[in-house]
Structure 1
Amino acid sequence: MSIIKTIKNYAKKIIGEENIEFISHAKNYMSAEFFTKAIGFISVPVFTRLMTPDEYGILAIFTSIISISSILMGLNFHGSIVRYYHEEENNFSEFISSNIIFLFVFNILLIYFINLFKIEIAEFIGVDLNVFIIAIIVSIFNIPIRIFLSYLQTSKQSGKYSIISVTKSLLMITISIIWVYLLTDKRYLGRMYGQLAVYGILFIVAIIYFIKLGKPKFKRKYVKYSLVYGIPLIPHALSHFILSYFDRIAINQITGSADTGLYSFAYNVGLIMSVVVMAMNKAWVPIFYENLKENNYKKINTMAIQYSKYIFLSAIILILFSKEIVMILADESYYRALDLVPIIILSYIFVFLYTLFGNYSFYRKKTGLISIATLLAGLINIGLNYWLIPEFGYIAAAYTTLVSYILLFLFHYFNAKFIVGGTVIKLNKILMDFSVVLFFAFLYLLLFNFISSFIILFTLKILISIISLYYFILKKVDNPSN
């Protein structure tokens, strides 16, 4: 027991007492993100062997419909949950029930209008009517599910959040694979039915949970709060959809499906970094809001610097071992995509940086400018893709995405500092640490191009990883003033 206690005390010394809560929740969110993404990775070769490319393409469009319609139907109310919880925790059940009742009525009206033009919409998108209808139903189920998960996040119930997220993915993939296997025609419907079934179950679970929170009530002031918060973010959410998917559309139009496949694969590898960033942000936001409410600016700054170190260390390790990850996940026909992975990982560092400062706008409810910035970044991304992909090929898309996220970071920083106002996280130390990431990324490229021996190269990667671990995490143990 004494050895375990010693290890725990040493871990606390490395991490810092003020970061224990953050690490605890980040661990849960990251575990959930990694498990759900891993389940997704494992399912890809299964579905591609059971379905034809045409069927797999229909499934991709189905997913896109859900993404877009969930934004429009949910009105970004799930985001207001996180913000409001830190203002009026006592009457939170009334806030949730008011929002769900409003969204229920709103979506009845929206579905009525969709029903009038459902055939035309399905034909415009290029899918069968039944595919479109299933996607809309899944989107409706998704509304209370997202609100439920946002509630668990903001109330720091990261354990429950993780269990529900992983269970959802496991059930959906298992049921879908069985359903797809049993069908002999239009097998893509099996995947859709599996998602519909699981979302239907979680929809019921979420509603029951909210009823148990308190007697359902409706108050217009709570709906007004969420509308003011959520509506301005709809262009922001749609623009994020552009930033995430439009590059693939442009590549497919300009250079063909083979390059689209390579680019998509590289992005799937880079998504590992996205898992790290998004999981840590889920843990960071409640802690950030709590300390911002109490004006603990010094603590926020200290924790943000340490938070960024975890991100930077993860990025360096992923860049260093990106070749090995690619070799594990794919055969030689995909190795050409290897050069894109470090650029994509750097892009997600700027996603982290812009969320770090964007959280100030979310807290102060200054969401209108966020939407304008994201929309502009999306439009710039579209323009750059159509300009540079014909000239430089699919590789250009990775750089255009990086540029778009750099612009988003700059906007959110200047917006937080000069428009939203107040004391913000100091950037100089974070940028100094980021320069270390750039140095090691450049060093990796030199080593990769000039050293052919696998053993020597792998040994150097291990050495750089150890140096990075010491610099970002262990150094403050030897020098507590850091």
Structure 2
Amino acid sequence: MGSSKYTKLVKNTVLFAIGNFSTKILTFLIVPLYTYVLSTEEYGRIDLFTTTISFLVPIVTCQVQEAMIRYLLGKEIDEHTAVSNCWATYLCGSVISIALLPLYKLYFKTLFLALFFTVLLLCNSFNSIFTHYLRAVGKNIAYIIKGIVGTAVLLSCNVIFLVVLKLGMMGYLYSMLISQIVGVSYLLFIGQLWKKLNFKALEKDWLKKMLLFSIPLIPNSLMWWVMSAGDKYIINYFLGDSANGIYSLSLKIPTIITLFYSIFFQAWQMSAIEENNAEGRRQFYETVYKLTNALLAGMIACIIIGIKPLYILIMSERFAPAWIYVPILALATAFNCQSSFFGVVYTTSEKTRKAFITTALGAAMNVLFNFLFIRPLGLQGVAIGTCLGYVVVSLIRARDCQKEIHMGFDIVRTVIAIAILTAQAVVTILLGNIEISVAGVVSICVIVLLYRVEVKEIFCKIFAMVKRKS
């Protein structure tokens, strides 16, 4: 294999970055607009609406897209069988979801909102499954274009419905629905999905195998939901819609960390599956782990040092106080990224049940800490609880990863990096602007010094790729 596996990983990462970076950055840039045209209460209600959808999507889809990626990339199943089985799963999930319409009406109070929610849920579920199909069959350019088109439609509709028509919360929801419908249309056209649907290609044995792989990922996904989104229900109960709106905005910057990591993770998941039985797998994991540690640590240090002026200068006065929760949430997101890295081993080894067990333990700890800390510490207590939950998952998965492939974890540098970033976060939250600047500069310098070899390697690889392109 030589260095080809690293080249492929970098190539796929850059490719996904082109699409994801443009879409996510555009989405982030419009956030200040929301803070001026929506109240904290409206923003909080919108977030609960979308959070509920994110809870139900894994149930409707049965996470069958994960099985499709695993077996298509592993060249163990043909396209027609995979897509037909996914279609069957989606249609069954949709029927069950529509049957639950009376419950949606009970929750949302009106039939209109219940129907709106149902359509949005079904569109989200379709996009969730079949967007992964584009990746699984190597249509990466189509995958990227799909993200860009969806984002462009969402942002355009937001401007029309929020700024021009001033429709408030419903304007935001209309924009989401139109964007999702455009996504469904794109996938049907580009992916030729109706042509791939062939009832003769439905194979019970393969459907059973795919569902046995993916169904354990449903509770795993729900546990991740508890850790990343369930906090909002606790906040809503104890502190109200306004506090939930503030907290939701504080998550926007840590989402940038998730964005960059998700770009890498898509490529990493593909490489890990393809290299599952190859020689040198352990060294491959260790090398990639060190590089991701260097990137994550540097990104967090830069975000923490700049977060206070960013929120105060850009956001409206109602939302500006959200900055104080970002440093801890940034640390939490880093542990989340690391646990995702280690969790790939469950997919490659087809031990998806362990993914659920580890996430369930982390979610239980997250909820426990949230209830313990929310009264004395408010939203900061929720941020700390979330961080501790991710720490638990990361540690358990690191142990399982070590057992499976016997990789090393560069313990000394990892602990030093975590300590310096934690200290920087505490200084940023508790002290003044001068201390924040000093702590940030020290933190960045220490991290560059710690990972100087990896930083040099990253720049050399990027330079080499650019040179080959030119």
Q: TM-score, normalised by structure 2?
A: 0.84
Checking the alignment, whether the CA contact within 8 Å between 1:308 and 1:430 is kept in structure 2 is: no
Q: Deviations over 1:64-97 (max 9, x none)?
A: 3321231221111111122112332561332112
Q: Give the C-alpha shift of residue 107 in structure 1.
A: 2.4
Aligned to 1:196, which of 164, 169, 177? 177
Q: 1:315 to 1:30 in 2, by over 3 A?
A: farther
Aligned to 1:142: 124
Checking the alignment, whether the CA contact within 8 Å between 1:51 and 1:187 is kept in structure 2 is: yes
Q: Give the C-alpha shift of residue 389 in structure 1.
A: 1.3
Matched, 1:312 2:293: no
Aligned to 2:25: 38
Checking the alignment, whether the CA contact within 8 Å between 1:233 and 1:371 is kept in structure 2 is: yes
Matched, 1:161 2:143: yes
Mapping for residues 83-482 of structure 1, pairs under 5 Å: 83-88=70-75, 91-108=78-95, 110-111=96-97, 113-115=99-101, 118=102, 120-123=103-106, 125-180=107-162, 187-208=168-189, 209-211=191-193, 214=196, 216=198, 217-297=201-281, 298-330=283-315, 336-418=321-403, 422-427=404-409, 429=410, 432-439=413-420, 441-442=422-423, 449=431, 452=434, 467=449, 470=452, 472-474=454-456
CA distance in 2 between counterparts of 1:113 and 1:477 reads 54
Question: What is the letter of the counterpart of residue 121 of structure 1?
Answer: Y
Moved more, 209-218 or 62-71: 209-218
Q: 1:255 to 1:135 in 2, by over 3 A?
A: closer
CA distance in 1 between counterparts of 2:459 and 2:248 reads 41
Q: 1:273 to 1:431 in 2, by over 3 A?
A: farther
CA distance in 1 between counterparts of 2:12 and 2:457 reads 23
Q: Give the C-alpha shift of residue 275 in structure 1.
A: 1.3
3-state DSSP of counterpart to 1:276: helix
Identity %: 17
Checking the alignment, whether the CA contact within 8 Å between 1:31 and 1:162 is kept in structure 2 is: yes
Aligned to 1:11: none
3-state DSSP of counterpart to 1:452: helix
3-state DSSP of counterpart to 2:394: helix
Please provide the CA RMSD for this pair: 3.3
How many corresponding residue pairs?
453
Question: What is the letter of the counterpart of residue 404 of structure 1?
Answer: G
CA distance in 2 between counterparts of 1:66 and 1:257 reads 18
CA distance in 1 between counterparts of 2:458 and 2:92 reads 55
Q: 1:183 to 1:299 in 2, by over 3 A?
A: closer
* Structure with larger Rg: 1
3-state DSSP of counterpart to 2:30: helix
CA distance in 2 between counterparts of 1:75 and 1:42 reads 33
Checking the alignment, whether the CA contact within 8 Å between 1:99 and 1:226 is kept in structure 2 is: no
Checking the alignment, whether the CA contact within 8 Å between 1:269 and 1:325 is kept in structure 2 is: no
Structure 2 unaligned residues grouped into runs of 5+: 461-470
CA distance in 2 between counterparts of 1:142 and 1:439 reads 40
CA distance in 1 between counterparts of 2:94 and 2:294 reads 43
Checking the alignment, whether the CA contact within 8 Å between 1:317 and 1:465 is kept in structure 2 is: no
3-state DSSP of counterpart to 1:426: coil
Structure 1 unaligned residues grouped into runs of 5+: 1-15
Q: Deviations over 1:321-361 (max 9, x none)?
A: 33343344335665654443222121122112211221111
3-state DSSP of counterpart to 2:54: helix
Q: Give the C-alpha shift of residue 255 in structure 1.
A: 3.9
Checking the alignment, whether the CA contact within 8 Å between 1:354 and 1:413 is kept in structure 2 is: yes
Checking the alignment, whether the CA contact within 8 Å between 2:43 and 2:245 is kept in structure 1 is: no
Checking the alignment, whether the CA contact within 8 Å between 2:81 and 2:203 is kept in structure 1 is: yes
Checking the alignment, whether the CA contact within 8 Å between 1:25 and 1:156 is kept in structure 2 is: no
